[in-house]
Amino acid sequence: MGSNKSRFRLRGRLYLCRVRAVNTTPRLSRQTLAVLRALARGVGVWQHGYALAQVTGLKSGSLYPILVRLAERGLAEAEWEPERPAGRPHRHQYRITAEGLKVARANAAEHTQQDVRRAFAREPIGGQE
C-alpha cells in the first residue's frame, strides 16, 4: 500500500525518479570561459586581476566574482602576492589549476561546436543563398 503511493505511471511506464545521465562538465558563461582562457594562456604563471581585466575586457564587478567562483570550484588558485611593493596595496594573484585547464578545453570545444551549429542554422539574409 505505502510503496504504490510513492510511484506513479507516466505514459504507460513506471517512473522511479532515477537520473539517466548527468553532465559532469560544468557549463560556463562566456565571461567565465574568457577568464579561464586568459588564465590558460599562462599555465603555472600567477596573474593579477588587472591584467586579466585587460585581456578579457571585463569590468572588476564581473571579473572578481568570477575569479572567486573559479577558486571555490578548484578551477583556479588564488593567493596574496608574496611581496608588497611600497606605495600600493597588496594584490591577489591567480593561476589556473590542472582541473581548470581541463574544464576550459572541454567548454571551449563545446562553445566552438555550438557556434558552428548556429552559423549553419541561420538563413541567408533576404532568403537568398
Digit-coded pLDDT (tens) for 1-16: 445 544 554 555 555 5
Q: Is residue 86 part of a domain?
A: yes
Sorted by sequence, the CB contacts under 8 Å of residue 78 that are 6+ apart come out as: 67, 68, 71, 92, 93, 94
Instruction: Collapse the DSSP code of 93 into the 3-class scheme (helix H, G, I; strand E, B; otherwise coil) and give the result.
Output: strand
CB 43 within 8 A of CB 101: yes
The structural domain count of the chain equals 1
pLDDT in tens, 96-129: 999 998 888 887 766 656 555 555 555 444 444 4
User: Across the chain, what does the average pLDDT equal?
Assistant: 76
Residue 29 has pLDDT above 60, yes or no: yes
The answer to whether position 11 is within a domain reads no
Enclosing domain of residue 48: 26-123
C-alpha 109/C-alpha 116 separation (Å) is: 11
Residue 113 lies in a domain: yes
